[in-house]
Chains A and B, each alone.
Chain A
């Protein structure tokens, strides 16, 4: 029992043992980063600034966007018209952190509005394109070949595995993200949330609802999945170490 952990869904599996020795990928990452800094390809400060941005993003921004769209029809219209511009109104600038966005996320977002007869769900079959500035880093399952393989062909089955069973009269539309255009789902506001504040509404708009594998409902404020425990450190202990090259300056 000591080597197992609970998932909250009743299932459990053994926790991965912590690897004592540094892994080959960690070694390679340190080597590439240090060589790049030593050769002046980028600076330790570039790396630190980008890291701070990467640590600041998360799905809470998307939740705020949805909650505001639910309560403000004019804002919703702007979201559907030009999502990147609308993001600025909730404090998300897609040009961060470089001035032209991240090199991987083009400043192009389309928000997909669900209706009583249409449900959207997003995937990236080619890699794992994801609206990072609004939703943070993609969950591990979103990156798996399994999700990418099956969702575009058997969407209802995959959604059912997430616990979302849609009636046949609801059309399911799978949007395949790509490097030039990111997508996010604007789910329908559930019944029983009349007179709720934006803050209350944002709490039930979880990451899974904006991917489209779950529907928001009162009382559902977290996405529960099994968690693969890390085998190597998860927290930063120091920013990129000074290199010999930099110390010379």
Chain B
């Protein structure tokens, strides 16, 4: 696949993730009060929303998920963040697309990375370099 095809494919995926594409939303001159209230509703506060019956499944816990849980908890243990920051701000305040689209522990580890950078414990450059190094170590393209 050409690079241009890759870019266009990625753009299509991103475009399809725009929230509520059945409602015209961009280029708004004003926002009605009800819509404003809906926009301001935090994505994680889902109690009472409509959904369809599904088959409730268990999931085998993968090693990285346990490691993520422990890393986030140990960051709390050593005072890097507290429970409210981790949950409400970092895990939950991601916007609908990320909140609903990313796996449960994916949100946790994204939150941890963002917190360490935001608080200046590590630099973004360090993080990017470390990610590249880990990928190279594990033979990931």
Contact = CB atoms under 8 A, between A and B. Distances in A.
Interface of A: 11, 21-23, 25-36, 39, 41-42, 46-47, 50-51, 54-55, 98, 102-104, 106, 123, 125-128, 137, 139-141, 143-150, 152-153, 157, 161-162, 176, 179, 225-237, 240
27 contacts: A25-B68, A27-B135, A29-B67, A32-B112, A32-B127, A35-B116, A35-B130, A36-B80, A46-B77, A46-B78, A47-B74, A55-B66, A103-B83, A127-B87, A137-B61, A140-B58, A145-B100, A149-B47, A149-B48, A149-B51, A152-B47, A179-B83, A179-B84, A227-B59, A231-B62, A235-B63, A240-B67
Given A28-B110, A226-B58, 6 more contacts: A29-B64, A29-B71, A32-B71, A46-B74, A230-B60, A233-B62
Given A147-B56, A149-B46, A227-B59, A25 B51 contact: no
Contacts of B62: 230-234
Interface of B: 44-64, 66-78, 80, 82-84, 86-87, 91-92, 100, 103-106, 109-110, 112-113, 116, 121-122, 126-127, 130-131, 133-135, 138-141
A36 B47 contact: no
A39 B119 CA distance: 13
B60 A228 contact: yes
Contacts of B135: 22, 27
Contact of B116 (A27, A32, A161, A227): A32
Given A41-B78, A234-B62, A234-B63, A146 B131 contact: no
A128 to B, nearest CB: 7
Contacts, number: 202
Contacts of B49: 145, 149
A214 to B, nearest CB: 12
B83 A104 contact: yes
Given A54-B66, A140-B59, A152-B47, A25 B92 contact: no
Contacts of A231: 62
Contacts of B127: 31-32, 35
Nearest to B71: A33
A161 B53 CA distance: 8
Contacts of B69: 54, 137
The 9 closest A-B pairs by CB, nearest first: A103-B76, A125-B47, A141-B56, A140-B59, A230-B60, A228-B59, A149-B49, A31-B130, A26-B64
B64 A50 contact: no
A74 B10 CA distance: 63
A121 to B, nearest CB: 13
A236 B64 CA distance: 9
Given A21-B140, A27-B135, A104 B86 contact: yes
Contacts of A34: 130, 134
A139 B49 CA distance: 21
Contacts of B139: 21-22
A198 to B, nearest CB: 27
A152 B48 contact: yes
Contact of A31 (B53, B60, B75, B134): B134
Contacts of A35: 116, 122, 126-127, 130
A121 B57 CA distance: 18
B67 to A, nearest CB: 5
A25 B106 contact: yes
